[in-house]
Amino acid sequence: MSELHKFLFDGLPVRGAIVRLTDSWQEILRRRASNTEHGAYPADVQSLLGEITAAAALMQSNIKFDGALVLQIFGDGPVKLAVTEVQPDFTLRSTATVMGEVETGTSLSQMVNVSNQGRCAITLDPKTKFPGQQPYQGVVPLFDDAGQPLERISDVLEHYMLQSEQLDTTLVLAADDKVAAGLLIQRLPMEGAGNLAGSMVSRENEDQIGLNEHYNRIAILAKSLKTEELLQLDVDTVLRRLYWEEPLTRFEPLMGETGPKFQCNCSRERVGKMIVSLGREEAESILTERSDIEVGCEFCGVQYRFDPVDAAQLFTDAVLLQQGNSGTH
């Protein structure tokens, strides 16, 4: 079962979260692998997508915001796009657009930043918008301040958090074909009665970037976590191994009903309506060329197939529905 755990370091301006996506991540991979057009993701794309999915869940858990968090990598290599969307209730979905071959062992920059034009964007799309309101979006390149390509998604996102949020953040991310997992450690911005205006708060916060010794100690411990440990160990064991000397306050874990879950809003019914809207003639002309009408969900990759009997049924149902509706007048 997928789970997300949040915690605070007692008396210190540092918070953390761990996410382990299991069933939800496997469902994303299953849908993609079942798609006869695309097939399963190449191993390195799978890692990339799993890491951004875990990271987006961690970020969604860390903000007070009622809306979707969308994390996108716009690539300029064989991976054109990797995108994950996490709703406030932790339902999530992810997909990647891959053109051509990605051999095992391909680096992040070879996948998405071949000519240093790749971008990472985070969008916060509020559930309820006032008229004309645009979603908030922050964009960073996939290179560091010296122009060197970043080779880990965690580095890209740490850079993003520092640049656009002025927050020291440490991320450890990993994914394989069973688990997508992540650990986030973040220094809390200075708050409290001692601070005056908002500008004072942010000024003091900026002065603290990279310098808080407690945060630095906790971050170094986080970075000592190995990929295999993050993927294989349960959350209690990870926290005990890393932070057995640090008093922690842990929150009620988010799992099961409240935890991360896969959800795509596509459905057979919706695709059926789309086919009806094409019209009977168009549907029949497709069926003269193929044995069935096949529609793939652009997002999760699942394919819906309607053979001639299914298609005829769609139009019969649509007519019946129409008659039923007009009959009520």
Judged by the rule CB under 5 A, the positions of this chain that interact with Zn ion are: 264, 266, 297, 299-300
Classify 143 as helix, strand or coil.
strand
Cα 233 from Cα 69, distance rounded (Å) = 27
DSSP line for 173-223: EEE-SS-EEEEEEEEPPP-STT--SHHHHHHHHHHHTTT-HHHHHHHHHHH
CB of 301 to Zn ion, least distance (A): 7
DSSP line for 75-105: -SSSEEEEEEEE-TT-EEEEEEEE-S---TT
- Comparing CB distances to Zn ion, the nearer of 183 and 297 is 297
- Comparing CB distances to Zn ion, the nearer of 240 and 273 is 273
- Comparing CB distances to Zn ion, the nearer of 185 and 295 is 295
Q: Is 170 exposed, middle or buried (0-12, 13-18, 19+ CB in 10 A)?
A: buried
- Sorted by sequence, the CB contacts under 8 Å of residue 263 that are 6+ apart come out as 87, 91, 92, 93
- Comparing CB distances to Zn ion, the nearer of 219 and 297 is 297
CB of 86 to Zn ion, least distance (A): 15
Classify 303 as helix, strand or coil.
strand
CB of 239 to Zn ion, least distance (A): 35
- Comparing CB distances to Zn ion, the nearer of 71 and 184 is 71
CB of 156 to Zn ion, least distance (A): 26
> Which residue has tokens 């993609």?
32
CB of 28 to Zn ion, least distance (A): 10
CB of 176 to Zn ion, least distance (A): 23
Classify 316 as helix, strand or coil.
helix
For 169, half-sphere exposure in the C-beta direction (CA atoms, 13 angstrom radius) is 26
CB of 30 to Zn ion, least distance (A): 12
Cα 280 from Cα 291, distance rounded (Å) = 16
- Comparing CB distances to Zn ion, the nearer of 238 and 271 is 271
CA nearest to 173, candidates 287, 45, 308, 51: 51
- Comparing CB distances to Zn ion, the nearer of 254 and 297 is 297
Cα 216 from Cα 193, distance rounded (Å) = 25
CB of 35 to Zn ion, least distance (A): 10
- Comparing CB distances to Zn ion, the nearer of 283 and 297 is 297
> Beta partners for 140?
120
